[in-house]
Structure 1
């Protein structure tokens, strides 16, 4: 008798264990430990950098991603490790994002101004249209082109998962789009700090760049972290506006593509409003109302960064560098060009918009 696939380990390599499998929460311990060890090594390397050069030129979060990916090149986690690694990369990172809401006030959101909010919405629409046009120009099927475009423009895998049932995409198209997005998303995270430094951006500018270009909400933390807490907060708020565009986009796509009964499930509400975004908004509201005292903010910020460090190590362990080859050259080219297009739009927006 077969058993249902475990959603925690879905997407990671599965191997038959040579021993009795761990049960319950204990099955997470090996992967959590592996992620924590990589994170601790990255944290230590950051301090060594600071001691040798006066500052850490490569932040611990970036080192954690690179360290995890480097380890994955020589070691493929077995079924003993995959539950904890997947839990660290998803649950810990989402928890960090949720808690980040307590450090952001409503004033920070309002400080973006109506011009910034309209610009984010316009960038998402332009990125979807431009990405779709690129996909069709490279000969991708309409559904595949739309999946890649929405994934790049909004929030990576979450957007792909939400849009797929709306446009009735094939499973193979969804798998290929998600496979490449996982690799390209890491590249974007690593490039944001370098581009921000090259352009001479301050913390707000780096945060805006991260929020406008990084795929996943949690990864904004890693991309903006080298510029400090202000960059992280700005990036999180800007990215939140992008994520909130997913609902209207799915609605419009659903209206443009009439469905009949029995043709597949509607996109789930949790894809359009993930739990950690809801908690982020609730904590933001409590912070704005003065219900969260300033005394708890320093330890809360430390906890957020610790969770993110472990999660980034796990994310590196989950990235299979060979996924880019499996996705195919046309999908790879379209995704990469779409990412460059979004980056160019973001740079133009930052140049013309007044800073909050």
Structure 2
């Protein structure tokens, strides 16, 4: 009886996820079909299914009032599935690639994050935002978007309204950046490696980096992912520093916030790839699985963004977030030039 009773809540929890997962899969299917339609009409796919999934998902969320029953599955798809995709991506990158990145690049990424946080905080305060809201936007902009905001909030005892406003604009800007990055590359004329580095330094979430770099090529994908993961690892030191600054008065984040499990999983698969512990025949299926999970996650990400709600968050928040993003982009281009990345 005990085993049966304990399994019922788990089954109920799984059933709660089904509507949102099904909707995410439906949006994914629509994105894939639209990409095929693009190719059949133009002979070329101008927008990859990764990007189309975000666009379609955002349009659905912003056009229709989705019932709350969709939320658990959408959240599951946007977080857990994308984290699984990142873990599987570790099989495509070896420690040799990390070694090629070099200590100077790692140090440059760390310095960029710190400077970006300081400048973004100053921008937020300059446009009239309260200190805690400015801190949330600065950390979200400079490290990893919503994850950084969620980890920072309990440390600085941020208000729920401030957290909601920060996440809303981060989500919308994240989508805008993914859509605009390939266009920017056409104007800037960056090489595949430079573009991957720039995307890894500026795009908020790991799967968004995949979406932004996929149209350019595999070199951009691998470079962007590697740079982004190094940037994500800065979350731990930053949260620790904020805890010290605030004198330990507030709730400390758990270890899983400072070192996300998918980063550990990514590192393990990367190590296994480097030690030839993954059969060569498994590499392609792992990459394909990672790609498909990412598309579903991007569809769910789009389904999480309601442009109508974002418009209510306030002009000052929007101004601070946009300026902070531009500052981060400028810092990233400076780093690329200083390091002489080819």
Name the TM-score, length of structure 1 as normaliser. Answer: 0.89
Q: Matched residue of 1:227: which SS?
A: coil
List structure 1 segments (4+ residues) > 3 angstroms apart after TM superposition.
none
Q: Which residue of 2 aligns with 1:52?
A: 41
In structure 2, how many angstroms separate the alpha carbons of the residues matched to 1:41 and 1:172? Answer: 34
Q: Is the counterpart of residue 26 in structure 1 residue 22 in structure 2?
A: no
CA contact (8 A) 1:203 1:230 kept: yes
Q: Is the counterpart of residue 141 in structure 1 residue 130 in structure 2?
A: yes
* CA-to-aligned-CA distance 1:221-276 (integer Å, 9 cap, x gap): 111111122222111110111111111112222222213xxx44211111111111
How much does 1:91 deviate?
Answer: 1.1
How much does 1:351 deviate?
Answer: 3.0
Give the number of the structure whose residues are more often helix, by fraction.
Answer: 2
Q: Is the counterpart of residue 336 in structure 1 residue 325 in structure 2?
A: no
Q: Which residue of 2 aligns with 1:285?
A: 271
Q: Which of 18, 26, 30 is equivalent to 1:37?
A: 26
Q: Is the counterpart of residue 87 in structure 1 residue 76 in structure 2?
A: yes
Q: What 5-or-longer segments of structure 1 have no aligned partner?
A: 1-21
In structure 2, how many angstroms separate the alpha carbons of the residues matched to 1:87 and 1:252? Answer: 30
CA contact (8 A) 2:151 2:258 kept: yes
In structure 2, how many angstroms separate the alpha carbons of the residues matched to 1:67 and 1:34? Answer: 11
Q: Which of 281, 297, 310 is equivalent to 1:324?
A: 310
Q: Is the counterpart of residue 213 in structure 1 residue 202 in structure 2?
A: yes
Name the CA shift for 1:104/1:325 in 2 (closer, same or farther; >3 Å).
same
CA contact (8 A) 1:45 1:60 kept: yes
Q: Which residue of 2 aligns with 1:11?
A: none
How much does 1:290 deviate?
Answer: 1.1
Q: Is the counterpart of residue 231 in structure 1 residue 217 in structure 2?
A: no
How much does 1:350 deviate?
Answer: 2.2
In structure 2, how many angstroms separate the alpha carbons of the residues matched to 1:310 and 1:255? Answer: 39
Q: Which residue of 1 aligns with 2:157?
A: 168
CA contact (8 A) 2:207 2:298 kept: no
Q: Which residue of 2 aligns with 1:249?
A: 238
How much does 1:24 deviate?
Answer: 3.4
How much does 1:27 deviate?
Answer: 2.5
Q: Matched residue of 1:112: which SS?
A: helix
Q: How does 1:43-192 map to 2 (within 5 A)?
A: 43-192=32-181
Q: Which residue of 2 aligns with 1:299?
A: 285
CA contact (8 A) 2:243 2:252 kept: no
Name the TM-score, length of structure 2 as normaliser. Answer: 0.92
CA contact (8 A) 2:156 2:250 kept: no
How much does 1:280 deviate?
Answer: 0.5
In structure 2, how many angstroms separate the alpha carbons of the residues matched to 1:209 and 1:323? Answer: 29
Q: Is the counterpart of residue 354 in structure 1 residue 332 in structure 2?
A: no
How much does 1:294 deviate?
Answer: 1.8
